[in-house]
Amino acid sequence: MTPETRPRRSVLYMPGSNPRALEKAKSLAADGLILDLEDAVAVAAKTAARTLVCDAVKTGDYGARELIIRINSLDSAWGRDDLVAACAAGPDAILLPKVETAAMVQQVEKLMAEFGAADRTRIWCMMETPRAMLHAEEIAESSGKLGCFVMGTSDLVKDLHAHHTATRLPVITSLSLCLLAARAENIDILDGVYLDLNDDDGFRASCHQGLEFGFDGKTLIHPKQLAAANEVFAPSPAELDHARQIIAAFAEAEQQGQGVVLVDGRLIENLHVENARRLVALSAAITAMEA
């Protein structure tokens, strides 16, 4: 599956039971919004939150922002009704919590067809348990509707009996397994949340680390984190200038029958051109969305 070029620098969790938050989200500079019916919603508010979220999606008032509904697990008291309502609302994606096997994804895919989900509505998977890490490859290849992995690092650290650290060494293996699986199947993957809202420097460092790992963007827990995530995960002007130089120089070399070329003293091959084109396409998509 070839992924669409869609900015996912910043994907913000929004509590589905909070009407004011859902309204405010319409003006936030987020590439995507995860309208949450699961962890962020108290048991007593689950049913009301479902109605609020699905009605909000149906309004079409969120502009170019990608809308994702995170449902409760299908084995919970609310999961099936969440899925029915989400299919009718028509979000860009439905996010499944605690996915651990390909069969879980395939079950949802069949139910989405039964419930009349729009063809464009994708399946996203929360990757947040040790078993999910061990089955990342089979989950990534489970369905043609699968569009994105979302790392649930808070739950993962808890289940591993590990600690949150600045370097994230306790979860490096888990992150790498999911990144490998996602890239093998050409699906996007989002980094987990950063919990300390008072540590701006730490958050920015976490974004840079996620970018270096290969993530497409970061999931966020507060609007104050949007600006840094959008900046870090967007190609910089210098990167874009270099990318365009690579594309132009390689095109000229091909016309001359050459397969490699030097740009700023560095050897450039087709693999570098592919990445340069990806950066230019991403930048164009960001510009189009922001316009």
Q: pLDDT category, 262, cuts 50, 70, 90?
A: confident
CA distances from 93 to 23, 84, 177, 202, 274 (A): 20, 13, 23, 30, 27
pLDDT of residue 258: 80
The pLDDT of 95-121, averaged and rounded, is 98
- pLDDT at residue 4 above 80? no
153-183 pLDDT, tens digit per residue, is: 999 999 999 999 999 999 999 999 999 999 9
Say what the pTM is. Answer: 0.94
Query: Which residue in 215, 212, 283, 205 sits closest to 244, CA to CA?
Result: 283
5-33 pLDDT, tens digit per residue, is: 899 999 999 999 999 999 999 999 999 99
The pLDDT of 109-122, averaged and rounded, is 98
pLDDT of residue 35: 98
pLDDT of residue 3: 54
Percentage of the chain lying above the pLDDT 90 cut:
89
The pLDDT of 279-283, averaged and rounded, is 95
Query: Which residue in 12, 61, 65 sits closest to 36, CA to CA?
Result: 12
pLDDT of residue 270: 84
Q: pLDDT category, 257, cuts 50, 70, 90?
A: confident
35-55 pLDDT, tens digit per residue, is: 999 999 999 999 999 999 999
CATH 2.40.50.100 corresponds to the domain 10-232 = no
- Per domain, the residue ranges of the chain are 10-232, 237-290
pLDDT of residue 242: 93
- pLDDT at residue 116 above 50? yes
